Amino acid sequence: MNVGIIGAGPRGVILTSQLLNQFKYNADQPENLTITLFDPYGIGGRIWRKDQWDGLIMNTPADQITLFTDASVNMTSKVYDGPSLFEWAASAEAQDYLTANDYPSEIKAAAGNLGGRDYAPRVLYGAYIRWFYSELMNQCPIESTVTVEKAEIVDLQYNANQRITLKTDDHQYAFDKVVMSLGQQDNYLNDEEQQLATYAQRNKLTYISPTHPGDANLNDIPAGEPVIIRGLGLSFYDYVSELTLGRGGTYMKNDDGSLSYQPTGREPRIVAGSQRGIPYYPKAISEKGYGEQAQPVFLTAANMDQVSVDGKLPFAEFMRLLKLDLDLVYYSLLIRDKFPYKSATDFKDRFINSDNRPAVLAAFGFQEEDIFDWDYIVNPFKDVQVIGTEDYQSVLINWLSRVIPDAEAGSKTGPTSSALELLRDFRPVFRKIIAEDRFSNEDYVNKFLGEFTSIISFLSVGAPVLRSEQLSALIRSGLVTILAPEMELKTQNGWYVTASPKRNTDVYKSAAVLEARVPKPDLTITANPLLENLVDNQLARTKTLKVNDQDVGLAAVDVQPDSDQLINKGGAKQPNVYIWGVPLEGLRFATNASPRPGVNDINLQTADKIAASVLGLKTADKVDMN
């Protein structure tokens, strides 16, 4: 059997692993197995490639990243066990591999010093992926062959006997089965972005459209001049790091534990903002053990069943139950900080079983300033209206000075950070809610996708807390200025101009704009030539839902829910073509998360199920592919 895998990042590689594992332990396979991986960047893919600045780090702790399966994974193949990224990095084998493959001394040092709670350079994760692949090849069954083509697939078609032809710019290949294991893809610019890019060309300015920060050329950003960054999420921190640490700057620890930035004079002056006007919450220092994942007390299947109406879970009830889980964790930990003489266990029992929870809080002595106010968590500056930019920096620094210590306390100790950590731990719960179609289409499209996913990103998908400490230092140094909420960006007299006109009259101009946003997966605007080709040839379509008698697109590629087989424009399942991962975002939830050991990881489950299906073998039951 000839199998083509498009994409050689983590998903493509773990799928290869599961194909070989399934094949190896099913000796009655009628023919040999040939696998061809396609990726213009080779093994590891685009995001984790070797030739990028080593200061770009992951935002998942090193001991929570693996490519190996374990006993927790619901699968049919045998466990292919091995070290997590952290365990591998600490080994002599890692040092030998890095040396043999000409990795720089900085990466070898980073590997040797990497702690389980640390955040590895992306280059090091790429090395781990390539080492994992080399281990696979060392154990490859005799009857199987794996090759890698450093090329981009631009066309997929069926021939007369339903075999599949894949084409690059200068070759074509025939396969029995094809699996698309695609990561983040570029999109065509929207009207505003195109206007800004055209303006840059006409006025000899710099405009960097949404892309991966590791791909952006920042050499044209001059020292000492202002640069506008739009977006305050993960890409913002990457760009700020590249323009400061990447230009030789350093941080020093002050006596009070805060940081001070030592500039080199090569940095630009950064003016940044967003609609929200607040950087993402910092990610807490991890305190989780192997396989540790909090389970809901309130957001349970039984409770959701009880409050459902005509089989659907009202979004307001979903939020009520979720907030109760967050409250429980927050107050239980706050008791240890404020009232160590009181019993957190007693509080939990009373809070869970009470019909009057405000009375429980009062009985335990919580004051108004102790309340976990969701509205203020989501919008900490909701009461800040008209405010000058200089004063806004003080407001931000004060906010950072509150959230940073909480995050540094740890993901099971800091009350606020530990509560927000549930939003990551509950990903399987959210996925199951989606898979079971618990929401009405209207609530799912308008409330969950339209509002809640953005809030989750803001609260729980931030950069490591170290980046927030660094940002505070940069604001205090004057190198970074954050605009008040509702940032606007315009063009004027040969410049880019930005302001927050609803908050103040301060205006900033620059010859450079960086869009600090990774392109969202969206089949309707994708610039990936293969996905475009599939749409043009009516072999793929966008997943839609009926909302108020209107078909609303989810941006995701439509697939057979229980197998990830591609669905064509007419609604027919493509029996030999599969697609999984990031292009399904919207139909699925948090598809860009790295595989994690010990938690029955969704990526590992899905890879095993697709591999079994490709080989015509029985798949595991109750596999969570969502």
- Tell how far CA 168 is from the center of its chain: 29
Distance (Å, rounded) from C-alpha 289 to C-alpha 575?
Answer: 41
Backbone torsions φ then ψ of 223, nearest 5 degrees: -65, 145
Query: Quick one: average pLDDT of 128-155?
Result: 97
Tell me whether residue 223 is in a domain. Answer: yes
Burial class from Cβ neighbours inside 10 Å (0-12, 13-18, 19+) for residue 158 reads: middle
User: DSSP 3-state assignment of 454?
Assistant: helix
Tens of pLDDT, residue by residue over 481-523, are: 999 999 999 999 999 999 999 999 999 999 999 999 999 999 9
Distance (Å, rounded) from C-alpha 523 to C-alpha 542?
Answer: 6
User: DSSP 3-state assignment of 26?
Assistant: coil
Q: How many domains does the chain fold into?
A: 3
Higher pLDDT, 497 or 30: 497
Distance (Å, rounded) from C-alpha 28 to C-alpha 413?
Answer: 52
Distance (Å, rounded) from C-alpha 38 to C-alpha 34?
Answer: 13
- Say yes or no to pLDDT of 388 above 70: yes
Same domain as 71, residue 158: yes
Tell me whether residue 288 is in a domain. Answer: no
Tell me whether residue 220 is in a domain. Answer: yes
Q: What is the mean pLDDT of the chain?
A: 96
Which of 452, 486, 515 is a domain's end point?
515
Closest of 235, 275, 280, 241 to residue 473, by C-alpha: 241
Same domain as 539, residue 576: yes
- Positive or negative, the Cα torsion across 594, 595, 598, 599? positive
Max CA separation in the chain (angstroms) = 77
- Say yes or no to pLDDT of 191 above 80: yes
Give all strands (DSSP E) within 14-98, no chain letters. 33-38
Distance (Å, rounded) from C-alpha 47 to C-alpha 56?
Answer: 10
- Say yes or no to pLDDT of 79 above 90: yes
Same domain as 10, residue 150: yes
Tens of pLDDT, residue by residue over 413-460, are: 999 999 999 999 999 999 999 999 999 999 999 999 999 999 999 999
Distance (Å, rounded) from C-alpha 42 to C-alpha 374?
Answer: 44
8 Å CB contact between 246 and 217: no
Same domain as 169, residue 76: yes
Distance (Å, rounded) from C-alpha 434 to C-alpha 424?
Answer: 16
pLDDT of residue 82: 97
The token duo for 481 is 């200025």
Query: Quick one: average pLDDT of 275-290?
Result: 97
Tell me whether residue 359 is in a domain. Answer: yes
pLDDT of residue 316: 98
Q: Could you give the percent of the chain with pLDDT greater than 90? A: 96
The token duo for 372 is 């976990």
Same domain as 201, residue 171: no
Query: Quick one: average pLDDT of 549-553?
Result: 96
- Which range of residues forms the domain containing residue 196? 191-277+477-515
8 Å CB contact between 585 and 592: yes
Same domain as 263, residue 395: no
Same domain as 141, residue 24: yes
Report the CATH number at residue 100. Answer: 3.50.50.60
Tell me whether residue 283 is in a domain. Answer: no
Find where tokens 């090193």 sit: 62
pLDDT of residue 348: 97
pLDDT of residue 27: 66
Tens of pLDDT, residue by residue over 207-235, are: 999 999 999 999 999 999 999 999 999 99
8 Å CB contact between 504 and 386: yes
Task: State the CB neighbour count (10 A cutoff) for residue 371.
Answer: 14
Same domain as 408, residue 357: yes
pLDDT of residue 74: 96
Tell me whether residue 285 is in a domain. Answer: no
Same domain as 324, residue 262: no
Tell me whether residue 289 is in a domain. Answer: no
Backbone torsions φ then ψ of 273, nearest 5 degrees: -170, 180
Backbone torsions φ then ψ of 145, nearest 5 degrees: -135, 135
Same domain as 11, residue 129: yes
Query: Which region, left, alpha or beta, applies to residue 581 given φ > 0 means left and ψ of -120 to 50 means alpha?
Result: left
Same domain as 415, residue 268: no
The token duo for 382 is 């909701």
pTM: 0.96
Task: State the CB neighbour count (10 A cutoff) for residue 156.
Answer: 24
Tell me whether residue 467 is in a domain. Answer: no
Same domain as 504, residue 528: no
Query: Quick one: average pLDDT of 6-35?
Result: 93
